[in-house]
Structure formats: C-alpha cells, structure tokens
C-alpha cells in the first residue's frame, strides 16, 4: 500500500479467519454491560500509555492473533517476498537533492535496511549505473552505537555544504537527535552542535551560529508538543547559554524562524503558527528589532532572489480572498510583487495563477529567472512558466509536458551560487496509474527535456485502462474519482456479483489525491483482478482552498458524505457490491475509515484503517493533536463537540452494531498520531463482541515502518486481509 498524507507539524498516505458468508460479520454475543465510550467515559485509558507494560502486552497478543490469521492466507509468504523484492529493487529511481556540486540520495535495499546517505555528480547520475560515494552508512552507524537509527534528513550550510546538521530518529519517531556532520571527513564533528532527542527545528545562520527551537525544559514547548521558543546558539557554548531570539505562546502550534542567507538579500522572519493554517510573522530589521510582516495570516510566501541579481521578488499564495487596490484576488491565486516595495508598504501584484472551477494551484518552483507553476486541471497536472523580465513584468508560456497524470517539479537552482550553471534547470517527474515514473531534466525557455531515469514496468498493463467518473454527493456536489481497471475488465465486462474493489480516500488538510504508479498494487491487486478506486473528496486540495475549506470543522461530515457517494455510485454502476467492496485510508484517512465503519458499515466488507485518529474527544490532548484543531475543531468547546461527537468513531461504536471485520495498523513509535487511537478502538470493538484484526509495528513512526522489510510485512498483511474479505 502507499505511504502518503501524514499529519505533520507544518501540515506527504499507508500500506495493507474465514470469509464471512454475508456482507457483515455478525457480532458475538454481548452482555448488557458491554462498554461504550462517551464524552465523559473512556473504557480503555491505559492503552494510551505508549510504552506501558500492560499496553504492550495487549499489543503483542493482538499482533500474534492477527498474524496467525493473515499469514495463514494462501500465498502470504511469496507475496511478502515479492513485495520486499520490489521495495529493494535496484532499478528504482534514486530520488535526489542538490547541494552544490553534489546530488544526494538516501538508498535502502536488502543490504542496507536503514540506508546509505550517498552522493554523486549530475554527470555521473546521467549514467545507467552511477558511481555513488557513501557519506553515512546508517546500518553501520546503528550497529556501532547500538541504536535503531532511522534517517531524519540533513540541513547543510551553503555555499560549500560541508557542514550538515544530521537528524536521526529512534525507530522512525518525529522526535530526533541532531548532530553536526562533516561531509568531507565523513565524521560527526567532535564538540560540534548536538541536540538531544526532541521535536527540534534548527537553522544555520553561519558556520558558528544556529537558530534553535527545541525542548529547553519546562514551558519551552507548545500544547501541540513543538518548540515555543527560538534561541540563537553560538558554537562552543552550552545550549543553556543560548540567547532567546523569539517566543510564541503555549496555545500556538509552534514558533519558528526562516533565515535567507543570500548575499544582498539576507532576511530573518520569525513566526507564530497560530493554528495549522495561520501564521503571525515578524521581520528582524537592521536594528535587531522585530517588525510585523504584513501578510494575510493564512497565506504562504517565498522570497525569490539570487546572489548578484538586482531583482528581489516576493511570491504569495492565497488561501483566502485578498482585496487590495480596488481589486479582489481569489483564494488559491499566486501573486508576484517587488519585495522591497512591498515591505515599504506598496501593494502592486502580478497574477501568476488564478483558479477556476476546475483548475487549482498544485505548487511552484523558482529558477533564477522564472517561476514554474504546477496546475491541477480536473486532477491532472499541467505546467506553466512565468519569466521575470528586467522591467519587473512577467511573460507566460505553457510547457508541453506529459498529460494526463501527475507532474512534480523541483528547481536545481542554488541562489547562493553566482552564475549558477544550473540556474535555469529543474527536475520534472511524470507518472500515472499505468505509467511508471520517469525523471527528466528541464530548462526554462524550452520544452526539450533530458530523460535522466525511468522506472521499468513492474507489471503488464496491457488491456488495462483508467477512467475518471463523478458521483453526486448528498448536497449535490459532483465528486470526481478514478477507476483503475484490471486487464479485460470494464463496466460492461464484470465478474458475476461485481469485482473485488478497493476504494481509497483521504479528504483533509488540502492534500490532493493524484494518479500514482504502484508496483505493489500492480503485482498484488491488479493482476489478480482487483479494481482500484481513488476518491477526490472534499477536504482535499484537488480544486484549491475552497474544496478543502468546504469540509472542515462543522462541515467535516461533507468529506464522509462524498466518500459514501462514491461507494454508492460504484455499487449503482454494478462495478462491485458491498460484499466485494473494501476501503482504505491512513492518518486523517484513518479517521475517514472510522467514520465509514460507524456510519455506513452496510456498504463495505473490508476496512484497512491505518495510523488513524479515532477518539476525537481526546485527539487534541494526545501528542501533536492540538495542532489540528483548525481542521477538526476543539472538543472542549461544547458547541464544537456537538458536531465532532456526531462522527467521532470511538464514541459512536455500539455493541448492537453490525460491522465488517476491520484491520487496524499503527506503530508504537508514531509520536504524531497517538497509537492509543487504534488500540482503544480495537479494544472497545473486541469488548463489544465485534470481529477485529490489529497489527502494531513496534518501529516506523507515522509512516508505519522503518525499513523495507517492515514495509513489505505490513503490506502483505493488508493485501492478504483484503483478498480474504473480498474475493
């Protein structure tokens, strides 16, 4: 299964007894005192103790029970081996990030479970078999230090990128250890910068100075569990002597800082994340004082400049309408303006993108002289280029790129390198449900592209096809969805009783569900006759901020109504039946799965519920949950709990209900969405007499797995469950 759409601090979904004779698993006999979770009563609070002895004993028992059932399914072992081979395959495209003269990549395979952080040059990357230079061997490091290190990224100091702040996670958790590393000597720096395990945020100022947000002790973290204080830390001094530069409030999501070191354009912006979508920002002026940075609180921005250039631009992406100079700019627009003039109070904008009913902004990247804009057109990608002229005006051109499918773009320009030879180059990748990923090197001003890498086909797509259809939601809204048909099957050629069908959804945080190529689905689902359906429900970003904002807080139920409408449309079109229809979702999509379980159990015979939120009465008190109240609301406010309580799965699970046999998957090391959600829901259902499968990976964080072996195991469990329920 795929790993996508994970609830993040700034906010990137997951993987997947005897077959019942009816569409429902009838509950076992229950007693009158079967537990029910209410707003004031929680039958299983002890399962929130992540490392509690009693809780972990319960987890081990559930894991053993579920693995006994699922690993006994026909073909489980070869399926797991196949999935692992696909994950470890040498023909994968190495994903790269440019740092000066080097392209860096993290690589995991059967010989490097934790991974190699390695590098090569662009010239060598072009070759079929690049010569990679290992910088850090994570497996060797973990063995030497007796730690279960999982790679957490590296922040390197430009322009030479020799010194890096490397983040290492124990078991895949969001909390990380930060250590300074030298990429020339390939050693951690003796007496270098070092931070203990925490949800930290670090930024280089210069070779001897950092901005640091971390757990400085009592009162230094927000209610959401992220840094509240940013300090300036000098090399050679203890962290306790770092000087406070900025403070947020405990109720904020986090305090943060962005530093632009580009010579001639150096700027420091501090921010308070008021909630998931709104920020209050401040610029550090030349006198060391903080002055308000006048941007719409829910807008995002990029300062766009290059060393040696005279141009200094500000790009603003709107999430709400903006009225200025007698004109209203629609939410979802991308605006460009002169940065210095803007900071001086002038408000003159050039519109680089304006949404329509079917077109939305999916992102953008900047080269030295151009903005490459990624547009979603009915959930398929198109590219546009806006070149900045010497007089400050912009010229637009459409970029001829593959369509329809998913395009991703990333600039290779380094704005701290004068006359950067890659200043107008960018990487562009393309994929769709039946087309393997390819990675191309593009250049502004031309449609010509160099093909750098391409993923070979992992399954035979001959005779397969993809359809986009629309369902009508409860309020009349047209909801698009994709249907991926296996070979020889379409709406006029279906198995008797309907095809085994998996419906996937997310519907939150303005995340769009776009076409993607999956080796796992190709081999474990399509080739066995399974239909895959992807629902583009409200709450996502497929049609811009309005599509998302239509299904938050008191309107969250609209996400669920949309998903139900797609499921009913599949049945009405006779593509499948409730007996053969399964659903899957992770994180916010796991909450969607819980809502489907409690609201429309009659529609489904399989539910894969991954790293989910489920107890919405307490979600804001568990780990990072408080940071998501702008999406769901505040359960402590009676008016908001009134609507949250109607869909909160944990409080709506009933002993007398008839529910399909569900599979929960989560991770002990998930310190973003608390594993207690899945644990308590499974325990409650078991206590009420319902049939439940549960698997908790001890490592993996919110991604559910820490290495390919773990990923293959979880995926094999999930696919085996789906075929057990839906065949």
- Local confidence band at 15 (pLDDT 50, 70, 90 cut-offs): very low
φ/ψ (deg, to 5) at 534: -115, 120
Per-residue pLDDT tens for 661-673? 999 999 999 999 9
| DSSP structure class, residue 705 | -
> Hey, what domains does the chain have and what are their CATH numbers?
46-85+458-726 (3.40.50.1820)
Give residue 3's pLDDT.
Answer: 37
How many DSSP H helices and E strands does the chain contain? 13, 39
pLDDT value at 27 more than 70:
no
292 Cβ contact list (under 8 Å, min separation 6) = 280, 281, 282, 283
Distance CA 74, CA 516 (A): 28
The CA dihedral of 601, 604, 609, 614, to the nearest 10 degrees, is -20
Residue pair 373/387 in contact (Cβ under 8 Å)? The answer is no
pLDDT value at 233 more than 90:
yes
- Local confidence band at 32 (pLDDT 50, 70, 90 cut-offs): low
Distance CA 199, CA 9 (A): 10
- Local confidence band at 309 (pLDDT 50, 70, 90 cut-offs): confident
**Count of positions (residues) in the chain:** 727
* Tokens coding 259: 């530093």
The CA dihedral of 125, 131, 135, 139, to the nearest 10 degrees, is 110
Distance CA 171, CA 152 (A): 10
pLDDT value at 156 more than 80:
yes
| DSSP structure class, residue 641 | H
Catalytic residue status for 333: no
* Tokens coding 267: 């700027």
Q: What HEC string does 432-475 produce?
A: ECCEEEEEEEEECCCCCCEEEEECCCCCCCCCCEEEEEEEECCC
Q: What is the mean pLDDT of residues 332-349?
A: 97
Distance CA 550, CA 565 (A): 16
φ/ψ (deg, to 5) at 567: -60, -45
Distance CA 49, CA 52 (A): 5
pLDDT value at 11 more than 90:
no
One DSSP character per residue, 25-58 reads: BPPPP--TT-----SS--S-GGGG-TT-HHHHHH
φ/ψ (deg, to 5) at 119: -150, 160
* Residue from 5, 279, 702, 713 carrying the catalytic annotation: 702
- Local confidence band at 24 (pLDDT 50, 70, 90 cut-offs): very low
pLDDT value at 117 more than 90:
yes
- Local confidence band at 12 (pLDDT 50, 70, 90 cut-offs): very low
Distance CA 413, CA 554 (A): 43
Per-residue pLDDT tens for 365-402? 999 999 999 999 999 999 999 999 988 899 999 999 99
φ/ψ (deg, to 5) at 702: -70, -15
Catalytic residue status for 413: no
503 Cβ contact list (under 8 Å, min separation 6) = 533, 535, 563, 566, 567, 570, 581, 582, 583, 584
pLDDT value at 495 more than 50:
yes
Per-residue pLDDT tens for 415-437? 999 899 999 999 999 999 999 99
Per-residue pLDDT tens for 191-221? 999 999 999 999 999 999 999 999 999 999 9
The CA-atom distances, in angstroms, between 95 and each of 92, 352, 454, 554, 650 are 9, 29, 12, 40, 39
Q: What is the mean pLDDT of residues 442-454?
A: 97
* Residue from 411, 429, 518, 587 carrying the catalytic annotation: 587
Q: Which helix (H) or strand (E) holds 609?
A: strand 606-610
Q: What is the mean pLDDT of residues 3-7?
A: 39
* Tokens coding 373: 């804009």
């Amino acid at each position: 299964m795929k790993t996508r759409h994970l609830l993040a601090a700034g906010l990137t979904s997951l993987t997947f007894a005897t077959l019942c004779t009816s569409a429902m698993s009838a509950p076992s006999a229950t007693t009158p005192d079967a537990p029910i979770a209410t707003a004031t009563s929680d039958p299983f609070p002890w399962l929130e103790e992540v490392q509690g002895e009693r809780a972990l004993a319960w987890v081990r028992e559930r894991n053993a029970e579920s693995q006994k059932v699922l690993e006994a399914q026909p073909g489980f072992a070869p399926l797991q081996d196949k999935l692992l081979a696909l994950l470890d395959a040498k023909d994968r495209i190495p994903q790269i990030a440019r740092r000066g003269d080097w392209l860096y990549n993290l690589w995991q395979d059967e010989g490097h479970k934790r991974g190699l952080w390695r590098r090569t040059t662009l010239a060598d990357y072009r070759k079929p078999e690049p010569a990679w230079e290992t910088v850090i061997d994570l497996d060797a490091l973990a063995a030497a230090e007796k730690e279960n290190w999982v790679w957490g990224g590296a922040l390197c100091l430009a322009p030479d990128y020799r010194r890096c702040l490397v983040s290492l996670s124990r078991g895949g958790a969001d909390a990380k250890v930060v250590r300074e590393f030298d990429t020339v000597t390939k050693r951690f720096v003796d007496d270098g910068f070092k931070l203990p395990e925490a949800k930290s945020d670090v930024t280089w100022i210069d070779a001897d100075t950092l901005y640091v947000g971390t757990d400085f002790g009592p009162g230094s973290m927000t209610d959401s569990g992220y840094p509240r204080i940013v300090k300036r830390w000098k090399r050679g001094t203890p962290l306790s002597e770092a000087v406070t530069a900025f403070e947020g409030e405990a109720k904020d999501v986090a305090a943060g800082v962005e530093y632009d070191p580009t010579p001639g354009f150096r700027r420091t912006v501090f921010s308070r994340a008021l909630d998931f979508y709104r920020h209050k920002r401040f610029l550090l002026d030349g006198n060391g004082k903080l002055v308000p940075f006048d941007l719409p609180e829910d807008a995002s921005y990029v300062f766009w400049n290059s060393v040696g250039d005279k141009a200094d631009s500000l790009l603003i992406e709107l999430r709400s309408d903006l009225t200025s100079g007698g004109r209203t700019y629609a939410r979802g627009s991308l605006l460009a303006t002169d940065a210095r003039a803007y900071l001086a109070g002038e408000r003159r904008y050039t519109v680089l993108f304006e949404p329509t009913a079917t077109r939305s902004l999916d992102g953008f990247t900047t080269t030295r002289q151009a903005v490459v804009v990624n547009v979603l057109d009915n959930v398929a990608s198109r590219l546009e280029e806006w070149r900045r002229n010497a007089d400050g005006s912009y010229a637009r051109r459409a970029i001829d790129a593959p369509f329809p499918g998913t395009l991703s773009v990333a600039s290779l320009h380094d704005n701290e390198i004068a006359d950067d030879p890659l200043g107008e180059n960018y990487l562009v990748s393309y994929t769709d449900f039946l087309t393997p990923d390819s990675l191309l090197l593009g250049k502004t001003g031309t449609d010509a592209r160099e093909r750098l890498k391409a993923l070979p086909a992992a399954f035979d797509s001959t005779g397969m096809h993809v359809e986009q259809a629309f369902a009508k939601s409860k309020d009349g809204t047209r909801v698009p969805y994709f249907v991926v048909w296996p070979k020889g099957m379409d709406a006029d050629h279906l198995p008797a009783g309907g095809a085994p069908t998996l419906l996937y959804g997310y519907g939150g945080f303005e995340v769009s569900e776009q076409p993607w190529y999956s080796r796992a689905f190709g081999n474990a689902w399509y080739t066995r006759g399974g239909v895959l359906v992807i629902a583009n429900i409200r709450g996502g970003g497929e049609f811009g901020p309005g599509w998302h904002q239509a299904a938050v807080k008191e309107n969250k139920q609209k996400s669920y109504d949309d998903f139900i409408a797609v499921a009913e449309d599949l049945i009405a079109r006779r593509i499948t039946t409730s007996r053969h229809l399964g659903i899957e979702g992770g994180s916010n999509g796991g909450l969607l799965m819980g809502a489907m379980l409690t609201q429309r159990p009659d529609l489904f015979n399989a539910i894969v519920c991954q790293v989910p939120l489920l107890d919405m009465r307490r979600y804001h008190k568990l780990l990072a949950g408080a940071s998501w109240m702008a999406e769901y609301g505040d359960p402590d406010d009676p008016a908001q709990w009134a609507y949250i309580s109607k869909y909160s799965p944990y409080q709506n699970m009933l002993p007398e209900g008839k529910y399909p046999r569900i599979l929960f998957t989560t991770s002990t090391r998930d310190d973003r969405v608390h594993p207690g959600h899945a644990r308590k829901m499974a325990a409650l259902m078991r206590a009420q007499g319902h049939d439940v499968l549960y698997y908790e990976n001890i490592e993996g964080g919110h991604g559910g797995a820490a290495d390919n072996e773990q990923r293959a195991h979880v995926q094999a469990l999930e696919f085996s469950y789906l075929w057990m329920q839906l065949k």
